[in-house]
Amino acid sequence: MRFFVTGEQNRQLLLNSLIMMFLGYVLLLWISNGMMYFHKMDLTPTSVVSYYLGSEEDFTQPRSYQSLLEVSHFHLFAMGMLVLTLTHLMIMTNLSVGLKVGLSASIYLSAIADEAAGWLVRFVHPHFAYFKIASFLMLELSLAALIIAVSISLLYARRKMQDK
């Protein structure tokens, strides 16, 4: 990552290309994350409650402790690595320090909140469905903002290389 700090990104077209391909991969993850959410629920609290607590009308069972634990186990590691990588790339851009701090806090908090929200709906109270919806939307917006910020920074660096 030192290539951002030292300005080497202006001389490293291949590395910039690899990071852009990674961001394309993350964009596909972002799209599939939304598709998975909307396959299971929508942006109404009723659908979230039905997904986590089950529905007699749809003949679905409540999410089990074990299934939530298995999903959380994988997500906590995978999202942690993704968020660390994206924020690390974003920190090396020319964005203002305040924006970097805001985006970093937003993505970490929303990723943790999104993971915790399902547990809260299932085992604490159905009203946490609102929290689940808000945390999902915040996670998606934060991911999109990081993808866009790093992409624009890399495209700007490419343009500077081509102008030389």
Taking the domains of the chain in order of start, what are their residue ranges? Answer: 2-163
Rg over alpha carbons for the chain, rounded to the nearest Å, is 19
User: What's the residue count for the chain?
Assistant: 164
Q: How far apart are CA 114 and CA 36, in angstroms?
A: 14
* pLDDT digit string, tens, across residues 14-61: 888 888 999 999 999 999 999 999 999 999 999 999 999 998 888 889
CA–CA gap between residue 145 and residue 164 (Å, rounded): 29
| 132: pLDDT strictly greater than 70 | yes
Q: Which residue in 154, 163, 150 sits closest to 12, CA to CA?
A: 154
Side chain identity at residue 49, one-letter code: V
> What is the rounded distance in angstroms from the CA atom of residue 105 to the CA atom of residue 101?
6
Of 90-94, 99-103, 104-108, 136-140, the one with minimum mean pLDDT is 90-94
Running DSSP on this structure, what letter comes out for residue 61?
A: P
CA 111 to each of CA 10, 70, 72, 163: distance values in angstroms, whole numbers, following the listed order: 32, 16, 11, 39
